Structure 1
Amino acid sequence: MSSFDRLTTLMARFSLHVKPSPPETATLLVTAAPDGAPLHVWFGTGGIGSRFGAENIVFSAEVDWGGASNPLLASLPDQIGFDLSTDGEAANLVNLMRSELAAGRCGAVSVINRLGEVLIVRLLRAQIEAGSTEPGLLAGLSDPRLSRAIVAIHDGPGRPWRNEDLAGVAGLSLSRFSETFLAVVGETPAAYLRRWRLILARQDLVKGDRVDAVARRYGYDSAEGFTRAFKRSYGLSPVSLRHRPSGSALPSAVPAA
């Protein structure tokens, strides 16, 4: 399975937006070699531009990818880097983005956003291939066996998954799968499945979907059982979220453990 397969559902469920910004508010930076050619891509928390000299920064942007509710984004280190000298196609993407920004032609913002999305995918592929020493989703997706089970959860959140089923997808014994998943991802398969379902359910409720439909969609036997699980995790009922006035503040997007 390719790294892109491991990203497809995450890219679909969390809209990714890349918008040029000053370095002091940027979460995506490109720094240059002494000759001015783009050399590294950096992605991390807001204000990463302050960690580099302004003369070295050739492009900076803010990336919005679902915030803390995106489990992959939440599992990334504060700063990750990507060497453009190892990927000529990514370097070409950066040059196109710089060209669009400099020329200021009609539709440049949209073009930069699309090119930035491709750049982020390539950056995340490299991170998945490199792996992670810290427990979390990035480490799980980097594992060739666990990633099969995680992608199955992502793609089929409403299925009645049992650990035995997911172990079979991963090609591991039940005991080995359960132990490895907990050690690598940092939570049990059932806990990750529950958290993923509630993240998606929250998205659907914000869009206005009915509570009973959302409950069925994500494998709950009843709207009542779903309501209890949602309230336990988010601290409010799904009905109140669905009926929240437009423009009002939303509760935390991260389910409680």
Structure 2
Amino acid sequence: MDRLSSVLNAFRPKTSSVDCLRLDELSRGLLLSAEFSYWVYVVSGDVTLCSKKNGDIQLQEGDGVWLATGQTLDVWVTPEHQEKVSVLLCEYDFGTKALNPLLDLEWQWVLVSHDDVIAQQLAPLNTLLLEESLQPRCGSQAVVERLAEAYLVQMLRLFLQTQKIQSGLLAGLSDARLARAIVEIHEQPQQAWQVASLANKAGMSRSVFSGAFKTTMGMTPMAYLTLWRMRLAAQRIKHGDKNIAMLSDQLGYQSEAAFRRTFKKVLGVAPGAISSLH
């Protein structure tokens, strides 16, 4: 399995909505829910997005910004662009936010400029997405939703290839050596992995691997292994798997009691209370 699919197979995003917003809608600002992720793309004109968390970011026509989690944004438009400003807003649902490792990101947004190699490679899909969004035809809603999901996956793939992200899971998967160990964790969470065995998969010494992993991922290899196991467990429970004893065995725990203790410690709730996670 490839490095991105090892995550998306477990935590697959779905398109919640795709909207083309004009100036009158943008003048009220963008209230973007923290429970979703967003792609904001300037179809025409120039705009400035203002965030209390991240300051201001200026976007020209053809620029876009990826927000791992939503926030409240003010939108400023220069007078000369007021007649032609429009923005494409794609909203993505990754499921329960606390479970999805793609949302464990210190950064709040990633700029993709119109002259960036990422934008150039996204251009064919971008053209299709805009055509279907701006000129709806029979079946356009279904087409737009699938195109938006394909667009997101392609964008994440290009983030990995260009090492666009500097910390978190996407950064770890961007590193060829760390990615080998991370994918092993994703594919075989039941294995009794140790730092030494993961370092061997990465082709690195134990000490170099441990340092690089923590610097890039923000946690130790063993902490990430535990977190991945608990998130997989929570995901399966949410989807109807209620046999906790079997689940704990499948994820490498020798006893159900140890699994339950770890689950509560890592996720903050007992397996039976998983519906309370947001």
Give the TM-score of the pair, scaled to structure 2.
0.76
1:147 matched to which residue of 2? 179
**For residues 103 and 190 of structure 1, do their structure 2 counterparts lie closer, same or farther at Cα, with a shift above 3 Å needed?**
same
Cα offsets for 1:80-132 (capped at 9, x unmatched): 12234434452221221222223333332221121112211222233222344
**For residues 92 and 75 of structure 1, do their structure 2 counterparts lie closer, same or farther at Cα, with a shift above 3 Å needed?**
same
Q: Which of the pair has the greater relative contact order for Cα pairs under 8 Å at 6+ separation?
A: 2
Q: What displacement does 1:33 show?
A: 5.8
**For residues 147 and 57 of structure 1, do their structure 2 counterparts lie closer, same or farther at Cα, with a shift above 3 Å needed?**
farther
1:229 matched to which residue of 2? 262
* Ranges in structure 1 where 5+ consecutive residues have no aligned partner: 242-249
One-letter amino acid matched to 2:104: A
Correspondence for 1:110 among 137, 142, 153: 142
1:94 matched to which residue of 2? 126
Q: Secondary structure in 1 aligned to 2:277?
A: coil
Q: What displacement does 1:11 show?
A: 1.4
Contact kept? 2:65, 2:111, Cα under 8 Å: yes
**Separation (CA, whole Å) in 1 of partners of 2:124 and 2:228:** 35
1:193 matched to which residue of 2? 225
Q: What displacement does 1:38 show?
A: 6.0
**For residues 200 and 52 of structure 1, do their structure 2 counterparts lie closer, same or farther at Cα, with a shift above 3 Å needed?**
farther
Q: Secondary structure in 2 aligned to 1:5?
A: coil
Number of residues of Structure 1 aligned to a counterpart in Structure 2: 240
**Separation (CA, whole Å) in 2 of partners of 1:68 and 1:113:** 24
Q: Secondary structure in 2 aligned to 1:229?
A: helix
Correspondence for 2:2 among 1, 5, 14: 5
Residue identity (%) = 33
One-letter amino acid matched to 1:211: I
**Separation (CA, whole Å) in 2 of partners of 1:199 and 1:106:** 39
Are 2:276 and 1:251 aligned?
Answer: yes
What do you get for the CA RMSD once the two structures are aligned? Answer: 2.7
**For residues 50 and 96 of structure 1, do their structure 2 counterparts lie closer, same or farther at Cα, with a shift above 3 Å needed?**
farther
Is 201-210 or 75-84 further displaced after alignment? 75-84
Are 2:95 and 1:62 aligned?
Answer: no
Contact kept? 1:163, 1:190, Cα under 8 Å: yes
**For residues 68 and 236 of structure 1, do their structure 2 counterparts lie closer, same or farther at Cα, with a shift above 3 Å needed?**
closer
Q: What displacement does 1:181 show?
A: 1.3
**Separation (CA, whole Å) in 2 of partners of 1:50 and 1:123:** 25
Runs of 4+ with deviation above 4 angstroms: none
One-letter amino acid matched to 2:248: A
**For residues 91 and 25 of structure 1, do their structure 2 counterparts lie closer, same or farther at Cα, with a shift above 3 Å needed?**
farther
**Separation (CA, whole Å) in 2 of partners of 1:179 and 1:58:** 42
**Separation (CA, whole Å) in 2 of partners of 1:176 and 1:144:** 14
**Separation (CA, whole Å) in 2 of partners of 1:182 and 1:131:** 18
Give the TM-score of the pair, scaled to structure 1.
0.81
**Separation (CA, whole Å) in 1 of partners of 2:259 and 2:92:** 32
Contact kept? 1:97, 1:112, Cα under 8 Å: yes
Contact kept? 1:211, 1:239, Cα under 8 Å: no
